[in-house]
Chains A and B, each alone.
Chain A
Amino acid sequence: MSIEHRDDTGARFGMWLFLYTEVILFSGLFVLFAMTQARFPEHFAAASAGLNTTIGTLNTFVLLTSSLTLSLSVTALQLNKIRQSLLFCSGTVLLAVIFLVNKYFEWSTEISHGIYPGSDHLAESAPGTAAFFNLYFFTTGLHGLHIFIGIVLILTVTGMIIRGKVSAECPVLLVNSTLYWHLVDLIWIFVFPLFYLIPRGFHG
C-alpha cells in the first residue's frame, strides 16, 4: 500500500537542487557587489581596510574546521561509530556558535562606530563606502542567518541519531545536512575574499 519508497540518491539530488537556489540567492548580492566594486574601487578599498581581517581569517578557519568535523561525523556514522559521530556533530555546532560570536563582536564594533545600514554616518560618507558597508551587512547577515539555520538543522539530526532514526543504514538526513553546511562554508569561501581581501588591492 505504501507509496513511500526510499530513494536516497533522489533525496540527495533534490538537496543539491535546493543548494543551487541558495547559490543563486547569494549570487544576486554578488552581482551587486561586483558592479559596485567596479564603479567605486577606491571607496571600496578604503572601506574594506576598515574591516577586521584578523577576525575574518579566524572565522574562515573556524568554518573550514566545522566542515571537517561534520564530514568526519558522516564517516563515523557510516562505520556505525555512533558515539564518535555524535561527538563530531556537537563539535560542529560548537564551532558554528564560535563563528557567530566572532561575527557578533565584529558587527558590534562596527555598529559602535556608527556604521550600519541607514546610519547617519554612512549617509554622510562617500557613496561607494556606504554601498560597501550596506552590502557587507546584508551579505554577512544573510550568511549568518544560514549558519543559524544550519545549527538548528544539525541539532535536529543529532537528536535523530540519538533516537536511532538516522543511522548507518539510513544516513541520508545527516548527509543532506552536511551538504547544506558545506554550502554555507563554500559561500563564506567567496564572501571572505570578496569583502576582506579583494577590494584592498585597488588602492590608487
Chain B
Amino acid sequence: MAEEHKPVSYRSYFVIWLALSALSGLNVWIAGLAGGSLTAWIILAVASLQAGLVLSVFMHLNQETKMFRLGILALLIIVAVSIGLTFVDVLYR
C-alpha cells in the first residue's frame, strides 16, 4: 500500500536524537543567562524546534498525508487562541 510508511534508518533516528539532546542542553545553558522574557521566548522557540523534530521524524508526520498536518494546524490554533485570549483578560485587569 502506498499509504504505508517506509522504515526510517537507524542512522537518521540517531541523528535526530543527538540534535534533540543538544537542543535540550542548549536550553539549560540559556536558562543560566537569566534574561527575563527574552530568554523565555528563546527557550520556548528551541523547545518548539525540538517538538517539530519529534513530530516530523519520530512521529512520521513527514510521511503522512495533508489531512494529518491540517489537523495539527487546527490543534495549534486552538491552543494558541485559548492561551492568547485568556491573557487578554489576565494581563489587562
Q: Which residues of A does B touch, CB under 8 Å? A: 8-9, 12-13, 16-17, 20, 23-24, 27, 30-31, 34-35, 38-39, 53, 57, 60-61, 64-65, 67-68, 71-72, 74-75, 78-79, 175, 178-179, 182-183, 185-186, 189-190, 192-193, 196-198, 200-203
Contacts and interface: CB of A to CB of B under 8 A. Distances in A.
Contacts of A178: 58-59
Given A27-B83, A201-B39, 7 more contacts: A12-B68, A23-B75, A31-B86, A53-B31, A189-B47, A193-B27, A193-B46
Given A182-B59, A190-B47, A193-B27, A64 B82 contact: no
Given A8-B3, A186-B54, A193-B47, A201 B31 contact: yes
A192 B24 CA distance: 9
A78 B7 contact: yes
Given A57-B28, A201-B40, A68 B14 contact: yes
Given A67-B58, A75-B9, A201-B36, A193 B43 contact: yes
A27 B83 CA distance: 8
Interface string B35-68: 1111110011011001100110011100011011
A13 B82 contact: no
Nearest to A181: B58
Interface SS of chain A: helix
6 contacts: A72-B13, A75-B7, A75-B8, A186-B54, A198-B39, A202-B36
Contact of A189 (B33, B51, B67, B91): B51
Interface string B1-18: 101110111100110110
Interface residues of B, number: 54
A197 B31 CA distance: 5
A189 B9 CA distance: 24
Nearest to B64: A12
Nearest to A183: B59
B44 A198 contact: yes
A200 B31 contact: yes
A13 B7 contact: no
